[in-house]
Structure 1
Amino acid sequence: MALSTIGLYCVVATILWMRWVFDLRLEVASWPLFVLGVLMAGLSLALFGFFLSVTAVRYRTSWALGAALEYPGWLLCGFLIPVSSLPVWIQPLSWAIPTTWAMDAVREAASGGSPWADLGVCAAIGLAYAALAAYLGRRLVDSARRNATLALT
């Protein structure tokens, strides 16, 4: 959640920097829906991060896993390029990541479309990852208590 907060700050700072320094205007058809899409992207990214952290918590080098997934995640979610320009075989993986849908919602809100379907899918997938993470987290804690081990190697 902390990284999502920093990310939201970066979005706001970039928009302000773009306006005040370069005198460029960001044309957004619906600012409330645009902001909702950005907030949903941050929240869903935090929920997906919760799932990844629960699955990697028992390994000391889990930070390397997070670093290795960062840039491919940006590509898969449509932050840098549209998902439609990815190879066809990898697009279903993009659809399983909630921030893909949040980015679609942000684009729809900016262009004047309706982002509600994308926001709904984003929320559903994000909540599914949160439920799965809570379940796995409970299983890992129970296993560590039962076996009196919490190996960090």
Structure 2
Amino acid sequence: MSNRQLSLEEILDLELILAKKLVSAAGTQQHALREGNLKELNKVNNFILETNEKMVFLNLKKTEYLSQGKENPYEEKAEVAQLKKNIVNLVQQLKEKFEINALLSQNGINFHHQILSILCSPDQQKVYNTKGKVKENLQVNQMIDRVF
């Protein structure tokens, strides 16, 4: 993104494009969380961070534009009003997806905490013969079956 002056419509159009990309990325993030695909999750999280930085930049551009007083924001064109409406709808979708993703993340953390507590508990170490370490996939499967 350059340092040139953008119109309000251009700024909102770019925000709409980025919001669509964020909604798509949130869907990918949700899928990666459900599948436990850490490589994909890391990739999509980095993309979300980069896109968020671009959104912050656009918000600064929008603030700069509005502070110049070129146009009265209350007398906006129909196209600008529609762009704003579309952005609001996408932000709502994004909020809903991120709420689900936060829940999935918390469930994953709770699951790993339960597995770690099994590994660290002296009583459970005797049951699974782990001595604090997982030796075989069979032990992990036994722990998972026991927890759930």
Q: Does TM, normalized by the shorter one, top 0.5?
A: no
TM range (shorter): 0.3 to 0.5
Richer in helix (by share) = 2
Point out the structure with max Rg over C-alpha.
Answer: 2
| TM-score normalised by L of structure 2 | 0.39
